[in-house]
Each structure stands twice: as structure tokens, then as C-alpha cells.
Amino acid sequence: MPAPLLYYVRHGETEWNAQGRLQGQHDSDLTACGQAHAVRSGEILRDLVARDGRGLADFDYVSSPLGRACATMERMRASLGLDPHDYRTDARLAEMSFGRWEGVAYPELRARARDVLAARERDKWNFKPPGGESYADLLTRVRAWHDAVTRDSVVVAHGGTARALIAVRAIAAPESAAIADIQHGVVYAFAGQGLARYA
């Protein structure tokens, strides 16, 4: 049986994204630009669904439980004329934890943890920040979520979660998946072992 079609949206830009801070499982509010990303993702999704001769109600809607993902899903659904709150959350879609690095800006990390960051660059997939998760850890819970998906779905989650999903679907090897550029305001279509980007 073929894997379900997933229309995947990374949450809109947040205050910490704009400041270059690692968020992980901490939250910050969507910026005005992030709110626009959510609306734009809804517009793209509407066009994709119509192109395929389907309806918005044909899909399950599921989000990471983190605030920035839920805010994106709700704004996106409202822009589509859907009940903003009629979706599910699944904890397995939460962003990977950066542990004690959460809230820290990259320049500060480079100043105080240069050697550790160098180790991360050598093996990003298996690297685990202090008190956090590796992509290999994240893969385990994303795979468990993916294996339970039974219908075509619209998913709002995170950059790290998308990279793990790329590995789950065997679209790229883990080392390549770990450096995939997952952007805001874009809809990614996971279809079988293919990945298409719509902006």
C-alpha cells in the first residue's frame, strides 16, 4: 500500500527565528512575516488541492503541539475558510530538543562552544546537543508517527521534523537529510519517495 500523501508546512517565522536563536521545544511568537507565511501556505495548499480535483475536507489535519506550529495551522485553516481549531496535535511531531542550547543565539554558541559546534558539523545527524536530541533520536519518534498515518494529511511542524521525515521516506540519506533547507511559507508535498516544493 503506498504511503499517504503529506502536504507539509513548516511553521511561520518566529521572533527567535528572526533573532537567530535556537528554539527546539521552547516557543516564541510568530512575527508579522510568520503570520503572512501561514496565510501564504494556505493559499498554496488551496491551489494544490484544487489542481488535483480534491476538496480540503479530503485530508486529515495534524500539527506539532508546540505553540508556533499550532498558531500557523490555525491561521492557515482560517485563511482556507475552515474552523481554525478543528485539527489534531501529535507530540511525536514536536521539534527536536536542543537541550541547554535552546534560546541561545548562534554567535553566542560560536563564541563559547566552537569545538562542540565543529563536532556537530562533522556528523550533524548523530550529534546530540547538551541535554538535547540528535536527528537519529528524532527519527525514531517521527517514524512512529509516520507509521500510524492512514490517510492523506496536511501537517504543520518544524524544520527538524521535516528532515527526519525525508529520511523516513528514503528521499535522501540521513547525512543529506540533516542539511536539507526547509523554509517558511512553503508547502512540501511528500508523495511516495518523492518530495516537491511549492512556494
Dist CA 11 CA 155 (whole Å)? 10
Dist CA 82 CA 2 (whole Å)? 28
> How many of the other CB atoms lie within 10 Å of CB of 82?
17
Active-site pick, 13, 37, 74, 95: 95
Cell of 166: 525525508
Dist CA 143 CA 72 (whole Å)? 23
Dist CA 19 CA 107 (whole Å)? 11
Q: Is 121 among the catalytic positions?
A: no
Q: Is 133 among the catalytic positions?
A: no
User: 194-198 and 187-191 as β-strands: parallel, antiparallel, unpaired?
Assistant: antiparallel
Q: C-alpha angle 151/154/60, rounded to 5°?
A: 40
| DSSP character string of 84-117 | TT--EE-GGGSPPP-GGGTT-BHHHHHHH-HHHH
**What single-letter amino acid sits at 169?**
R
Active-site pick, 11, 37, 158, 184: 11
Which residues are designated catalytic?
A: 11, 95
